[in-house]
A = this chain, B = another copy of it.
Amino acid sequence: MKKPSIKDIASRLNISITTVSFVINGKAKEKNISESLTKKVLDLVAELNYQPNALAKSLRTGKTQILGFLVDDISEPFFAAIARHLDEIASDLGYKILFSSTRNNTQKAIELLQILKDRHVDGYIMALPEGLEEEVKKLIKTETPVVLFDRYVPDVKTDYVIIDNQESVYQATKHLIDNGYKKIGFVTLETSQSQMIDRLSGYQVAMAEAGLSTSVKEVDYKNGADSIAQMTTYFKTERKLDAVIFAANYICMDGLRTFKKMGIKIHQDIAVVSFDDFELLEFCDPPVTAIVQPLNAIADNVMKILLSRLNKAGQATGNTQVKLPAHLKIRGSSLKKI
């Protein structure tokens, strides 16, 4: 009743395991194995429901058909959505994905990376956590395929898929300016991650072009309550703001909570644009304009790049760096100034 091995197949048929292996791996033709024998093997494989042991295969070939996926927190909607799409594509291609959350803990992230290495994953997909730059550089040196997404590190030469953060925020800011807003605030995180820097820069460029002065709040994120407290102070100080752009999903969530607490009305008191779209925005009154990331396209590109690397391992090709456009979904919160 235990799982049959290649040996069982071979001995039952009185042939060598070599032949069985060739047939199973579709090399019967190439290796000139007779059709009748091929059929016998295939029939027995089907009868016994033989499944090759992936561990043995991996040990021998050095390939595991497993990819490592490393992000801050897999339960964040953006990462969960990307994970889902990646998993979908990968499983169609015979790959499985090991998901890991670093929980913004560098030490933990390094450990997780080590575990993925121990498991001999064939490639890595990461939203690179801060503090992992050196580890990743080492990884890339070993010729392991690594594809980054969401953000990149100029210093780390590798493939990545990002969206055009600067351009999308630039367009969103311009949209607000075009609709008559002048005192536009920008609420972001205190971080040096590329995607946040680029978003800020898109805002700054648009404001400068229009000759408007900027107002930036960098939230030092500890937890929701503290973040709301920081924003409350900000909005109290900057009373004259007539619009605000929130630079990320949960920043926006906390911003909307802050408005609720302070009795600030969307659009009526302040126009709002959110980076990242999520269900809540559609339910606000009025609904909130959002910069929408192309989730499918991100996942598609990541997998495409990774697969092409996997298929030509060793060949030092140049880096593929993709920058995808985001889409501004205009809703009631950013309509013309009243």
* B51 A118 Cβ-Cβ under 8 A: yes
Residues of chain B lying within 8 A (CB to CB) of residue A256: 283
CB distance from A92 to the nearest CB of B (A): 10
Are A118 and B83 interface neighbours, CB within 8 A? no
Query: Which residues of chain A from 227 to 268 have any CB-CB distance to chain B below 8 Å in the complex?
Result: 253, 256-257, 260
**A51 contact from B58, B96, B114, Cβ within 8 A:** B114
Determine if A100 is an interface residue (Cβ-Cβ < 8 Å): yes
- Give the number of copies in the complex: 2
Q: Decide yes or no: A75 and B64 within 8 Å by CB, A51-B118, A253-B279, A284-B283 being known contacts.
A: no
Closest-by-CB residue of B relative to A85 is B75
Q: How large is the interface on A (under 10, 10 to 19, 20 to 34, 35 or more residues)?
A: 35 or more
Find the B residue at minimum CB distance from A285: B285
0/1 string, A80-101, CB within 8 A of B gives 1: 1101100110010000111111
Measured between alpha carbons, how far is A161 from B317 in the docked complex, in Å? 49
Contacts of A97 in B (CB 8 A): 98-99
- Within 8 Å CB of A52, what residues of B? 118
Interface residues of A in 47-91 (CB under 8 A from B): 51-56, 58-59, 64, 66, 73-75, 77, 80-81, 83-84, 87-88, 91
With A52-B118, A56-B59 in contact, is A74–B80 under 8 Å at CB? yes
CA of A53 to CA of B60, assembled, Å: 12
Chain B nearest CB, measured from A99 CB (Å): 5
Q: Secondary structure of the A side of the interface?
A: helix
Contacts of A56 in B (CB 8 A): 59
Which residue of the partner chain, among B66, B112, B279, B284, contacts A91 with CB atoms under 8 Å? B112
- Contact check, A83 vs B55: say whether CB atoms are below 8 A apart: no
A39 at the interface (CB under 8 A from B): no
A282 and B256 CA atoms in complex are apart in Å by 11
Q: Does A337 lie at the interface of the complex (its beta carbon under 8 Å from any beta carbon of B)?
A: no
State the CA gap A97–B112 with chains docked (Å).
12
Asked if A7 is at the interface of the complex by the 8 Å CB criterion, the answer is no
A27 at the B interface (CB under 8 A): no
Chain B: CB-nearest residue to A74:
B84
* Chain B hits for A282, CB < 8 A: 257
A331 within 8 Å of B by Cβ? no
Query: Contact between A83 and B75 (Cβ–Cβ < 8 Å)?
Result: yes
The answer to the question of A119 belonging to the interface, with a C-beta cut-off of 8 Å to chain B, is yes
A118–B53 touching, CB < 8 Å:
yes
Known: A91-B112, A101-B87. A55 touches B58 (CB 8 A): yes
- Residues 102-114 of chain A, each 1 if its beta carbon lies under 8 Å from chain B, else 0: 0100001001101
Other than the given A66-B119, A87-B100, 10 more pairs (CB < 8 A) read A51-B114, A51-B118, A53-B120, A55-B64, A74-B80, A75-B80, A75-B83, A91-B100, A257-B282, A279-B280
- 29 residue pairs of the A-B complex, CB under 8 angstroms, read A51-B114, A51-B117, A51-B118, A52-B118, A53-B59, A55-B55, A55-B59, A55-B119, A74-B80, A74-B83, A74-B87, A75-B83, A77-B77, A80-B80, A87-B100, A87-B101, A88-B103, A91-B100, A91-B108, A91-B115, A96-B115, A97-B98, A99-B99, A253-B279, A260-B283, A279-B280, A280-B280, A283-B283, A283-B284
